[in-house]
Amino acid sequence: MDVVGPPVPGSEEILTPAALEFLALLHDQFADARTELLLTRQRRTREIAAGADPDFLPVTRAVREDSSWRVAGAAGAPGLSDRRVEITGPTDPKMTINALNSGARVWLADAEDASSPTWENVVGGQRALRSAIRGELTFEAPSPDGRTPGKRYALNTSELTKMPTIVFRPRGWHLFESHLAYTGTDGSTQPASGSLVDFGLYLFHNAAELIERGRGPYFYLPKLEGHREARLWNEVFELAQETLGIPRGTIRATVLIETLPAAFEMEEILYELREHCAGLNAGRWDYLFSVIKCFRNRGDSYVLPDRAQVTMTAPFMRAYTELLVATCHRRGAHAIGGMSAFIPDRRNPEVTEQAFAKVQADKEREAGDGFDGSWVAHPDLIPVARAAFDEVLGKRENQVERLRDDVTVGQAELLDVASARREGATITEAGLRTNISVGVRYIASWLRGTGAAALDSLMEDAATAEISRSQVWQWIHCHTVTDDGVAVTRELCESMLREFLRSTPRSRGDRVDDAAAIFREVAMGDEFPPFLTTSAYARYF
């Protein structure tokens, strides 16, 4: 494993010879299997786009019908029993300190959708986590005038034992790390796996320290599309624990069910990870993106309305979340709710009041449906989410014992995408303009190194940006006509994009032109790139 990226702050501390040797071992064992699974994933997505409906797997029926097995859950995993409020955010020093001082029960330390994978962010995020786990992290923000001291951030070290439990999210299997080059046993060289790099560095540097401090190495696993991908992660866990001398089962993983194929394999995913599995999470925004991606060529009945009008009460989304809760609790796993994108604005009381009301309704629905906890993206929303779950849980740590035997969800319910528009949601010209505006502005932020951006009083990350660009692509290719009578064409979208560029205030280094070029490629081209981040990463990183 060779470092081909430039030296950045933290390189000597994080990219040690021993750490690189550990990454090389993981790649020796699992790089080929990862490649094979990604090819299988691509074939399956193309088949669904061409007309094959996903369904529950006949070959794994015995796993689903065997009522005897359970996952490890929170047993023997200190800090994971009560997850009623989880805050999400990237791993830069400032956000790390704010998250750990927030009062949430869990912090999803996100190296994926909320992070821009600049080399500085990849290494710097690992460095911030390593320091934070040891109670040593501080940060001084640059001062506005460049002369006086900036604001200083520090961990509340007197409350270290009460800090949120860290659950780290590495990049998905599909992402690579171009600043590290792996040379395989056959002599060929390729970029390293982003997943194995993020996971390996975090585990190598922090597993022993976390265990010593009464926690453990816990992970969120993103973008899985089936149980074979979960099996590969389980094999990674087994080898990593053996190599580092960590007791088997110490690692615990929560899997994000955020792709349509994975919704049909929830039970099998739990089974493959069972001794390392804590639960599942309803990753709603990536799930919507996956639905659009899978059905992008399937015609009008599979076209979703404006992004803002697709709510969690849409029948196909409700089927997905209720199945997740029922599946988790039947197997002793936590069911964790998703993130409402609304965020408060401390300078605008009206926006803040609306955000609180919408997040409260969202979290009350999740707690009432049986979820054991949920995500928020802003510290001010923690009391709102906590109150909703406190009302249902009381003094209990979770409600895993609540079996949703009333839930009956099959293939038809999960695939009833048309239900969103039957409920009265519409496709509008304003929604198209919003998709273009949000997509370009988010990509520009991502290119500048910020992967979570507050835009129009919503927290946007890679998942929500994917919805925006994939809707534009689908509306163009399905010849969609908006409910106000406007035909969505490539020419119309190009005209709207040029109008956006003319009307947007510009500043030095804003990356808006680069972002527009990427948006044209991923939203308005003939082909549908599987992920906008892979296209942008290959071009600019």
Q: Which residues have CB under 8 Å from 234's CB, separation 6+?
A: 272, 273, 276
**Residue 35 identity (one-letter amino acid):** T
Residue 371 φ/ψ region, left for φ over 0, alpha for ψ in the -120 to 50 degree band, beta for the rest: beta
Three-class secondary structure assignment of 463-484: HHHHHHHHHHHHHHHCCCECCC
Cα separation of 97 and 109, whole Å?
11
Buried b (16+ CB within 10 A) or exposed e, 107-120: bbbbbbbbbbbbbb
| Extended strands (E) in 208-276 | 218-221, 252-257
* 106 three-state secondary structure: strand
Contact 305, 427 (CB under 8 A): yes
Cα separation of 489 and 480, whole Å?
8
**Residue 198 identity (one-letter amino acid):** D
Contact 256, 221 (CB under 8 A): yes
| Residue from 92, 198, 372, 461 carrying the catalytic annotation | 461
Q: Which residues have CB under 8 Å from 476's CB, separation 6+?
A: 488, 489, 490, 493, 524
Q: Is 53 a catalytic residue?
A: no
DSSP character at residue 53: P
Contact 174, 117 (CB under 8 A): no
The secondary structure element, H or E, covering residue 383 is helix 382-393
Closest CA to 318 of 386, 268, 265, 366: 366
**Residue 265 identity (one-letter amino acid):** E
| Residue from 169, 215, 284, 469 carrying the catalytic annotation | 169
**Residue 151 identity (one-letter amino acid):** K
**Residue 361 identity (one-letter amino acid):** A
Name residue 334's beta-bridge partners.
279
Contact 342, 355 (CB under 8 A): yes
Angle at 193 between CA 189 and CA 198, to 5 degrees: 135
Cα separation of 163 and 378, whole Å?
16
Question: How many Cβ atoms sit within 10 Å of the Cβ of residue 238?
Answer: 15
Q: Is 169 a catalytic residue?
A: yes
Cα separation of 231 and 240, whole Å?
14
- Residues annotated as catalytic (active site), given as ranges: 169, 461
